[in-house]
Amino acid sequence: MPDALPPALGTIEPILPALRDLLGERLSTGQAVREQHGRGEGVPDLFPPDAVAFPGSNEEVAAIARLCHAQRVPIVPFGTGTSLEGHVTALRGGLCVDLTRMDRVLGVSPEALDCRVQAGVTRRRLNAELRSHGMFFPIDPGADASIGGMAATRASGTAAVRYGTMRENVLGLTVVTPDGRIVRTGSRARKSSTGLDLTRLYVGSEGTLGLITEVQLRLQGLPEAVSAAVCQFPDIRAALGATVAVLQAGIPVARIEFVNALQMRMCIRYSKLDEMAELPTLFLEFQGGPAAVAEQVEAVGAVCEEMGGSGFLWANRPEERSRLWKARHDNYYATLHYLPGKSVMGTDACVPVSALAECILETEADVAATGLLAPLVGHVGDGNFHLGIIFDPTDPEQRARADGLARRTGERAIRMGGTCSGEHGIGMHKLDLAAEEHGEALALMWAVKNALDPLGIMNPGKLLKPLPNQA
Amino acid sequence: MPDALPPALGTIEPILPALRDLLGERLSTGQAVREQHGRGEGVPDLFPPDAVAFPGSNEEVAAIARLCHAQRVPIVPFGTGTSLEGHVTALRGGLCVDLTRMDRVLGVSPEALDCRVQAGVTRRRLNAELRSHGMFFPIDPGADASIGGMAATRASGTAAVRYGTMRENVLGLTVVTPDGRIVRTGSRARKSSTGLDLTRLYVGSEGTLGLITEVQLRLQGLPEAVSAAVCQFPDIRAALGATVAVLQAGIPVARIEFVNALQMRMCIRYSKLDEMAELPTLFLEFQGGPAAVAEQVEAVGAVCEEMGGSGFLWANRPEERSRLWKARHDNYYATLHYLPGKSVMGTDACVPVSALAECILETEADVAATGLLAPLVGHVGDGNFHLGIIFDPTDPEQRARADGLARRTGERAIRMGGTCSGEHGIGMHKLDLAAEEHGEALALMWAVKNALDPLGIMNPGKLLKPLPNQA
């Protein structure tokens, strides 16, 4: 897109020879590779980079950054490309830095319950490696994302209610700055009062401040006992009332996931859950010592019953648990399968749990008014829920209705004291909503961005809407 | 200290009339008030501000900031003044902004398990107010600090092993910038992937970026059952081996505190714990459902016994628990009482728990080599421990020996992958150690500092050591 290139950013041609000298075969300008790196998931339009680099070390990433910096060439960091918000599109062209070859687990300590990994290690591979040490890493976004990408987008998933998000589980980072310095942030200490919290600043920065190349993670010991359960409710208020009661009682559930009636219809059909009804449903998991798990199961069962819950399904054996959680995780595919040929647009509102029932009920009324189908699932222990808005990608009018519904859902969350994105991030899609949410804080974010990336080469066009005086 | 005033900072005289117009009686230039605000705890020398302001609202704080900003007058935010690291000293004079009159609890939500408070509310007052709502706020530094000060220093305490520190428990802030803008960061959502994490940037910034005036806090429901225990060990390795085993097993202890033999001698004498021996000791607390607590007690008991622990003392009744925890919390007074007339210098190393035994043993050998007495206590579930180095404040040679021991303890923690400050912060005392710990990251912190406080008026001389080119 040379037309849209602002004068402040440079073109890649002058540095291509030096990049080739540095990377050899690990630099690609082929169309197929560039297009593979130009979209991410759920992004209709393609914005390919001018070239893709596959570095193998911190030093190579730093050398790449220095070359790009000298010529003001945009840099777009890339992990597995599973972001739903267009984080990896090369809106201004430039160089995509694909970190998937940096995929070594650098160290695992069962005694300290931590590990250090290169950015390209994926969460499933990490967990496979951790199992033999009796540990696991609890953050589970739907995709098998890279740890670097998960740090960059502040990812979470179904277990955040118990274990937190990437914000709480990253102890430190190695970051390459836009001008090619290799900087370590944080330490292996669990807590620290030592200076400005650069680790948390880079976590969630979506590649706009620098490239994350290594991540120090906090880990958990494998629980002695695990139990899962499903409970169905007469209406949404009952299911969410049970959620609030469980949280208020301080019952340390490992997962508490909500699925609405429409999504249940799709799940029952897709995952053959014939024993279940098309009703608002909670999927729960409990972890801990056997007595603690039994006590939690009993306490949550009593709460659910009091709220009118029924159709309890307890799953203690691993294969029963897997079947239930696979059905929950397959929601997206169940939705696609329900109406073949349609696209699904996700939303990501997150509100205080006290406002969750009201927020979801208003949102469902809004869905009904648009005439679109939009099943709803939620990490309700965190106040986070997703609509899967189904629309015909070839019909601009439907697309516009879907866009409007998504925007209003984000605005509603902000109005209720929450956020337009609980875990998917801003990317290129939610700049306006995020600006509305931040208010005056947006100017402070730009001050920080400009201080750490003064040339504006890091992932331009993402995360932060330009201020009026920058437009 | 007008001699030390860098040319870039201004004097307060030109803005005193405007400050008086704004604040009336709530501006003080009296010597007694200035001296009360010139030291904090554990700081031998006095650095009083030129005046002290007692604002009552965000708008007044913003107006104060605008006046100081126009004249480049240093601003030192002040809560309860209980920092041990000289955070509140006015090293360059200027205006102390005492926020203790901003002491309203602005909102409490038992359904969302959160609250919003003005910066001057203290943790004990907050907990007194929360109890009737069936909730508590778990962060407990020794002092009855203000919530704003705890946020500014990233405080923690004895319950961080279970509930995290201020880093994990602050959802959002109201901050007044050095040029007088009132900015809200974060939201009431439990998690968010929306933009740069300004909340975590201000938490722990020690007043160097702006003034924290309001804090949104995450809360916990009061546990159904609580039990405490004390167990004594033949040596340090055994006590810390038990700690690591408890953490690895994923037993969710609410507190696990270590007290060494010397500190036990002082405690036994001061708190009349005659049933205990002068041995390395763990103080433990368990919270949760009754069955979960019973299971934890049994599991931890078995671990401790396996490690050679003995002399178990279980405390289930509130008054027994209070007696044990009071003894633990009175360590500092027990130390002062042991050798009247001496001073105590605290250290704050925090290392990965895998390195904790080695770090503490090396430190104890170092203590022995100095010939000083220095009892040791630790929040060992986080890898954090404090030496209380006893020295004669009138003897410069002893003071120098104490300083050297403190410095080496911080350096040892850094060398072992940890941090020189787990929870006390840097203030004016640990600039060199922190610079050693940060390495290249210090330049990035300065870039952020200069972006958000371009005139350098916010709490000058704290947190960040000047870079070589700034000296």
- Asked whether residue B161 is domain-assigned, the answer is yes
Residue A314 — very low, low, confident or very high, per pLDDT cuts 50/70/90?
A: confident
Q: Give the SS3 label for residue A62.
A: helix
Question: Does the beta carbon of A149 lie under 8 angstroms from any beta carbon of chain B?
Answer: no
Are A167 and B247 in contact (CB < 8 Å)? no
Residue B162 is part of which domain span? 105-221
Q: Nearest-CA distance from A416 to chain B in Å?
A: 9
Whether residue A3 is predicted with pLDDT greater than 50 in this model: the reply is no
In this structure, are B375 and B401 located in the same domain?
yes
Helix (H) or strand (E) holding A28: strand A27-28
Average pLDDT of the residues in A25-37:
98
Are A419 and B187 in contact (CB < 8 Å)? yes
In this structure, are B231 and B206 located in the same domain?
no
Q: Find which of B165, B183, B190, B440 to mutate to test the A interface (most A CBs within 10 Å of its CB).
A: B190
Contacts of B112 in chain A (CB under 8 A): 352-355, 383
Average pLDDT of the residues in A301-321:
88
Interface of B with A in 151-210 (CB under 8 A): 153-156, 160, 164-165, 167-168, 177, 181-185, 187-198, 200-201, 203-205, 209
Whether residue A318 is predicted with pLDDT greater than 90 in this model: the reply is no
In this structure, are B93 and B130 located in the same domain?
no
- Asked whether residue A401 is domain-assigned, the answer is yes
More confident residue, A295 or B332: A295
Count of domains for chain B: 4
Question: Does the beta carbon of A252 lie under 8 angstroms from any beta carbon of chain B?
Answer: yes
Residue of A nearest to B109 (CA): A354
Question: Does the beta carbon of B350 lie under 8 angstroms from any beta carbon of chain A?
Answer: yes
Question: Does the beta carbon of A247 lie under 8 angstroms from any beta carbon of chain B?
Answer: yes
Q: Nearest-CA distance from A31 to chain B in Å?
A: 32
pLDDT of residue B470: 74
Contacts of A354 in chain B (CB under 8 A): 109, 111-112
Are A463 and B195 in contact (CB < 8 Å)? yes
DSSP annotation of A280 reads: -
Whether residue B1 is predicted with pLDDT greater than 90 in this model: the reply is no
Are A185 and B153 in contact (CB < 8 Å)? no
In this structure, are A40 and A87 located in the same domain?
yes
Residue of B nearest to A424 (CA): B193
- Asked whether residue B427 is domain-assigned, the answer is no
pLDDT in tens, A186-217: 999 999 999 999 999 999 999 999 999 999 99
In this structure, are B217 and B233 located in the same domain?
no
More confident residue, A316 or B55: B55
Dihedral of alpha carbons A419, A420, A425, A431, sign: negative
Average pLDDT of the residues in A285-292:
95
In this structure, are B92 and B21 located in the same domain?
yes
Contacts of B434 in chain A (CB under 8 A): 194-195
B170 beta partners = B217
Q: How many angstroms from the chain centroid is the CA of residue A84?
A: 8
Residue B7 — very low, low, confident or very high, per pLDDT cuts 50/70/90?
A: low
Whether residue B275 is predicted with pLDDT greater than 50 in this model: the reply is yes
Contacts of B413 in chain A (CB under 8 A): 189
Question: Does the beta carbon of B448 lie under 8 angstroms from any beta carbon of chain A?
Answer: yes
In this structure, are A266 and A289 located in the same domain?
yes
pLDDT in tens, B166-217: 999 999 999 999 999 999 999 999 999 999 999 999 999 999 999 999 999 9
CATH code of B135's domain? 3.30.465.10
Contacts of B110 in chain A (CB under 8 A): 248
Are B292 and A292 in contact (CB < 8 Å)? yes
- Asked whether residue B468 is domain-assigned, the answer is no
pLDDT of residue A7: 54
In this structure, are A236 and A256 located in the same domain?
yes
CA-based max dimension of chain A: 70
Contacts of B449 in chain A (CB under 8 A): 196
More confident residue, B2 or B307: B307
Tell me if ipTM is over 0.90: yes
A with B: how many residue pairs have Cβ under 8 Å apart?
326
Q: Lowest mean pLDDT: which of A313-327, B181-195, B365-379?
A: A313-327
Contacts of A294 in chain B (CB under 8 A): 291
Average pLDDT of the residues in A374-396:
96
Are B425 and A193 in contact (CB < 8 Å)? yes
In this structure, are B322 and B348 located in the same domain?
no
Interface of A with B in 390-419 (CB under 8 A): 413-414, 417-419
Contacts of B224 in chain A (CB under 8 A): 249-250
Q: Lowest mean pLDDT: which of A366-370, B163-167, B312-316?
A: B312-316
Q: Give the SS3 label for residue A91.
A: coil
Looking at A45, A79, A100, the residue that finishes a domain is: A100
Question: Does the beta carbon of B423 lie under 8 angstroms from any beta carbon of chain A?
Answer: yes
pLDDT of residue B471: 55
Q: Lowest mean pLDDT: which of B36-45, B121-130, B193-202?
A: B36-45
Looking at A74, A100, A126, the residue that finishes a domain is: A100
pLDDT in tens, A39-59: 998 788 899 999 999 999 999
In this structure, are A128 and A194 located in the same domain?
yes
CATH code of A78's domain? 3.30.43.10
In this structure, are B325 and B347 located in the same domain?
no
Q: What percent of chain A has a predicted confidence (pLDDT) above 90?
A: 89
Whether residue B3 is predicted with pLDDT greater than 70 in this model: the reply is no
Residue of B nearest to A300 (CA): B289
pLDDT of residue B5: 41
Whether residue A78 is predicted with pLDDT greater than 80 in this model: the reply is yes
Contacts of B248 in chain A (CB under 8 A): 110-111, 113, 134, 221
pLDDT of residue A468: 87
Contacts of A209 in chain B (CB under 8 A): 196
Q: What is the average pLDDT score of chain B?
A: 95
Q: Nearest-CA distance from A101 to chain B in Å?
A: 25
Residue with tokens 């277990």: A159
- Please, are residues A144 and B170 in contact by the beta-carbon 8 Å criterion? no
Q: What is the average pLDDT score of chain A?
A: 95
- Asked whether residue A153 is domain-assigned, the answer is yes
Interface of A with B in 1-30 (CB under 8 A): none
Are A251 and B447 in contact (CB < 8 Å)? no
- Asked whether residue A431 is domain-assigned, the answer is no
More confident residue, A93 or A332: A93
pLDDT of residue A167: 98
Q: Find which of B113, B139, B196 to mutate to test the A interface (most A CBs within 10 Å of its CB).
A: B196
pLDDT in tens, A119-167: 999 999 999 999 999 999 999 998 999 999 999 999 999 999 999 999 9
pLDDT of residue B362: 98
pLDDT in tens, A423-438: 999 999 999 999 999 9
pLDDT of residue A278: 96
- Asked whether residue A172 is domain-assigned, the answer is yes
Question: Does the beta carbon of A384 lie under 8 angstroms from any beta carbon of chain B?
Answer: yes
Are B184 and A441 in contact (CB < 8 Å)? yes
- Asked whether residue B115 is domain-assigned, the answer is yes
B76 beta partners = B96
Q: Find which of A193, A248, A421 to mutate to test the B interface (most B CBs within 10 Å of its CB).
A: A193
Are A288 and B250 in contact (CB < 8 Å)? yes
Interface of A with B in 63-122 (CB under 8 A): 109-114
As a whole number of angstroms, the distance between CA A86 and CA B448 comes to 27
Looking at A70, A100, A130, the residue that finishes a domain is: A100
In this structure, are B8 and B53 located in the same domain?
yes
Count the neighbouring beta carbons within 10 Å of the beta carbon of residue B229.
Answer: 23
Are A421 and B351 in contact (CB < 8 Å)? no
3-state secondary structure chain B: CHHHCCCCCCCCHHHHHHHHHHHHHHEECCHHHHHHCCCCCCCCCCCCCCEEECCCCHHHHHHHHHHHHHHCCCEEEECCCCCCCCCCCCCCCCEEEECCCCCCEEEEECCCCEEEEECCCEHHHHHHHHHCCCEECCCCCCCCCEHHHHHHHCCCCCCHHHHCCHHHHEEEEEEECCCCCEEEEECCCCCCCCCCCHHHHHCCCCCCCCEEEEEEEECEECCCEEEEEEEECCCHHHHHHHHHHHHHCCCCCCEEEEECHHHHHHHHHHHCCCCCCCCCEEEEEEEECHHHHHHHHHHHHHHHHHCCCEEEEEECCHHHHHHHHHHHHCHHHHHHHHCCCCEEEECCEECCHHHHHHHHHHHHHHHHHHCCCCCEEEEHHHCEEEEEEEECCCCHHHHHHHHHHHHHHHHHHHHCCCECCCCCCCCCCCHHHHHHHHCCHHHHHHHHHHHHCCCCCECCCCCCCCCHHHC
Q: Which of A181, A192, A296 sits opposite B350 (nearest CB)?
A: A192
Are A187 and B419 in contact (CB < 8 Å)? yes
Q: Please calculate the CA angle A134-A140-A142 and round it to the nearest 5 degrees.
A: 140
Residue A321 — very low, low, confident or very high, per pLDDT cuts 50/70/90?
A: confident
